[in-house]
């Protein structure tokens, strides 16, 4: 089991959803947190709750879509001499549009936010990560395991996550990775999802509205990290699609074509 007490976790997308819930889990285990995201007021509310749990918490506004914003975060980490022990890559955005009705700019944006931002941060802090053996947890999705209707760009970005973090764990034994694979979790991810023109849909899809509790998700995820699990599927009944895809692919395709995709 990993030791969490008196360690420091850097969390992207730490103000809402799974990132927020995970921040509290780290804090309850005695881990200081560096919370990043685009809205400082949201981050500060989470930081306040974390400090009430007895740890230190810092907030930094970061837009993972912009390399220069990540550069500013990296410079701050180094200037403040923060030593990172855990990295949680949670910042992300989803999509709700048919593949051929999605403008290429949307595909590119999802790759920048969901994939390139995270790997740019990892590479920018590579010396610290190699020296300290940082444990990287990255939030993927069941959509990173298989394709799914109206989520082509989202699926592609999550598939890329699996390829990168599985490889880095093989190349650098001192760097541990946990790929968190949630099913439908009750967060605002679908409301913030982009349509084919790049605008937020503002709609909570039924599956998300009835999704798995985000705090339960975070508890399962922190246990998986503590045990050094390489991958962890988390969620309710919908996650049965993962073994279906692997072992009964014809049944997966039948269900995926007929399930409510939005």
**Of 26, 154, 165, 212, which residue is the catalytic one?**
154
Whole-angstrom Cα distance, residue 79 to residue 82?
Answer: 8
CB atoms within 10 A of CB 193: 25
Rounded (10°) CA dihedral 120, 199, 145, 245: -170
Tell me the C-alpha distance between 58 and 36, whole Å. 9
SS3 45: helix
In the annotation, is 154 catalytic?
yes
CA distances from 123 to 4, 50, 62, 153, 230 (A): 24, 28, 16, 23, 20
Give the angle subtended at the CA of 33 by the CAs of 185 and 192, to the nearest 5°.
35
Known catalytic residues are 154
């Amino acid at each position: 089991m990993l030791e969490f007490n008196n360690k420091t976790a850097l969390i992207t997308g730490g103000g809402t959803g799974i990132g927020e819930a995970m921040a509290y889990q780290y804090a309850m285990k005695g881990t200081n947190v560096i919370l990043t995201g685009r809205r400082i007021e949201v981050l500060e509310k989470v930081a306040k709750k974390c400090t009430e749990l007895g740890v230190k918490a810092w907030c930094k506004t970061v837009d993972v879509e912009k390399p220069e914003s990540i550069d500013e975060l990296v410079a701050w980490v180094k200037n403040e001499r923060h030593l990172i022990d855990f990295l949680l890559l949670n910042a992300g955005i989803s999509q709700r549009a048919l593949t051929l009705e999605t403008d290429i700019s949307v595909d590119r944006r999802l790759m920048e936010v969901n994939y390139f931002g995270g790997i740019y941060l990892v590479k920018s802090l590579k010396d610290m990560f190699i020296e300290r053996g940082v444990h990287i947890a990255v939030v993927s999705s069941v959509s990173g395991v298989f394709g799914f209707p109206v989520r082509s760009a989202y699926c592609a970005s999550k598939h890329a996550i699996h390829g990168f973090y599985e490889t880095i764990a093989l190349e650098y034994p001192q760097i541990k990775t946990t790929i968190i694979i949630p099913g439908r979790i009750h967060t605002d991810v679908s409301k913030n999802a982009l349509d084919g023109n790049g605008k937020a849909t503002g709609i909570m899809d039924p599956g998300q509205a009835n999704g798995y509790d985000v705090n339960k998700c975070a508890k399962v995820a922190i246990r998986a990290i503590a045990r050094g699990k390489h991958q962890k599927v988390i969620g309710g009944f919908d996650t049965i699609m993962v073994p279906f895809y692997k072992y009964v692919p014809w049944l997966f395709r039948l269900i995926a074509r007929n399930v409510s995709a939005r």
